[in-house]
Every structure is written in structure tokens, then in C-alpha cells.
Structure 1
Amino acid sequence: MAKGKVGKTVETLGDYLREQRTGAQLSLRQLAELADVSNPYLSQIERGLRRPSAEVLQQIAKALRISAEQLYIRAGIVSPEDGVGGTVELAVLNDTGLTERQKQSLLDVYASFLALNASSTADRADEPSDEN
């Protein structure tokens, strides 16, 4: 039974990783070894079948000698728009004292606060003015 693609963002990530790997003249096996991940797992990431954790992305970025932030953006973890919480998200993702689950929980709470603040700002903008 074949699995479907995880999502468009991951497919884009996989294509980007493949381009970076071939540009670095590394085989899939060589990159897997350098990043300390299994060859089949890396292959699944490149094909868009698996969504890697921030920690795995960081290991792959280090092995490819590219920015982990670029991989976070490609994976949809960090927004590419300037000023949209990227610094907070990167700080959480780079904190070695947290588990992957704790990192994801913090990012989820942070995203919900941003969404709540955006909706309350929009609600206030829709209220009639008291000026006459």
C-alpha cells in the first residue's frame, strides 16, 4: 500500500533538500551518514513522505552546511515574512534543553496567541468609532 504525500510544504522541502544534496555532490547515503539519520528516512523526506522534526532538519542543515532557518522555512515551521515571530520560533527550535514535543507545544501555544491577537485587532478595527 503506497502512502500519499504528506503535504505541499514537505514536497517542496524534499525537492530543496535533493537540490542541496546534489549540489554538494553527496549521495543520499553519504548525507544520511553525515546527518546521523537512516538512509530510508532521508529518502522518505526527500520524496515528501515524511515530515522531519526540527532537530532532524538542524542535523541535515549542518551536514549540508546550509542555514537551518532555510529548512525551517521550507518545512513551514517558520514564516518567511519578516517580523512574523521568526525569532521566537527559532529560539524555541534551537533550545537544546527542550524535547521535540515540548518545542512543538510551545510553538503551538505561540501560534495560537498570535492568531488570537490578530483576530482581536481585526474585531477592534470593525467597531464603529465614537467620534462625531
Structure 2
Amino acid sequence: MAKFGVGKTVGTLGDYLREQRLSAQLSLRQLAEQTGVSNPYLSQIERGLRRPSAEVLQQLAKALRISAETLYVRAGILDPDDGEVRSVELAILADTGLTERQKQSLLDVYQSFRAANPHHEEESDD
């Protein structure tokens, strides 16, 4: 689930971002100025043509005054049903010392380890 996919998830993300921008009464140009992201790139995100990085999502969340976690879930980066995992994933995504590629690699490794091990609840049945 950590990988981005251009398609329904990104399109849904774009629609959500457009709704949030309009409810904040911001033009694309104004949002671009607040986030440091180019106007054409924001337009492509809203139309589902581009997949934003976690860093861009953080900038958008801050400018729109919404939760970055919400955007991560809508972008398909986080699983909305696993709160225990979310804190680890959020820490990775928030680390400014890592590149986007490094963040994605860490998320992939973490999720593969979780998938390979029995669920925590099953282990604690004493």
C-alpha cells in the first residue's frame, strides 16, 4: 500500500485537494506561492496527472491547514486501518534528512517485515 499508483487513488487525492483549496478560498496561484510548489505542478496533481511526494503533501497540508496524515492516506502512502503502523510510517515520512527515494525504501522494507511476521495480537495469546 505504500507505493503510489497513478490512477484512482491519485485522482481521488486531486479531487480532495481541489475541494480543500476551494473551501480555503485559494486560487492555484495563491496555493503555489504558499507552498513553493509550481502552479502547473499543482494543477497536474489536482487533475490526477502527477503523484506528489510526501514532502509536497506536507507543504500542501500546512498551507491548507489540514492533516498531512489525511493526505498520506488519500495518496495511498498510509493504511488508514493500522494506527500502530502509522506512527512509524509518519516518522519516516517526516524525516527531512532522508530523500524521497530513501523514505520509500524504508517504508517498503518495514512493510515487508510486518507482512512476514505474525500479527502482534496472535503472539500475545498466552
Bin of the TM-score, shorter chain as denominator length: 0.7 to 0.9
Aligned to 2:28: 28
**Structure with more relative contact order (C-alpha pairs < 8 Å, separation 6 or more):** 2
**Structure exhibiting the larger radius of gyration computed from Cα positions:** 1
Structure 2 counterpart of 1:97, which letter?
G
Is 1:70 matched up with 2:70?
A: yes
Aligned to 2:47: 47
Kindly state the Cα deviation for residue 82 of structure 1 after the two structures are TM-superposed.
3.6
Kindly state the Cα deviation for residue 84 of structure 1 after the two structures are TM-superposed.
5.0
> Where has structure 1 moved over 3 Å in runs of 4 or more?
none
Q: RMSD of the TM alignment (CA)?
A: 1.8
Tell me, in whole angstroms, the C-alpha distance in 2 between the residues paired with 1:75 and 1:42. Answer: 14
Q: Deviations over 1:62-99 (max 9, x none)?
A: 11111101100100101111435111100000111111
Tell me, in whole angstroms, the C-alpha distance in 2 between the residues paired with 1:38 and 1:105. Answer: 26
Tell me, in whole angstroms, the C-alpha distance in 2 between the residues paired with 1:38 and 1:111. Answer: 32
Distance 1:118 1:12, change over 3 A: farther
| TM score, norm. by length of structure 2 | 0.86
Q: Unpaired segments of 5 or more residues in structure 2? A: 120-126
Kindly state the Cα deviation for residue 118 of structure 1 after the two structures are TM-superposed.
5.0
Q: How does 1:1-132 map to 2 (within 5 A)?
A: 6-83=6-83, 85-118=85-118
Tell me, in whole angstroms, the C-alpha distance in 2 between the residues paired with 1:11 and 1:115. Answer: 28
- Percent sequence identity over matched residues? 79
Kindly state the Cα deviation for residue 22 of structure 1 after the two structures are TM-superposed.
0.1
Tell me, in whole angstroms, the C-alpha distance in 2 between the residues paired with 1:16 and 1:118. Answer: 35
Aligned to 1:130: none
Q: Deviations over 1:1-24 (max 9, x none)?
A: xxxx92111011001000000000
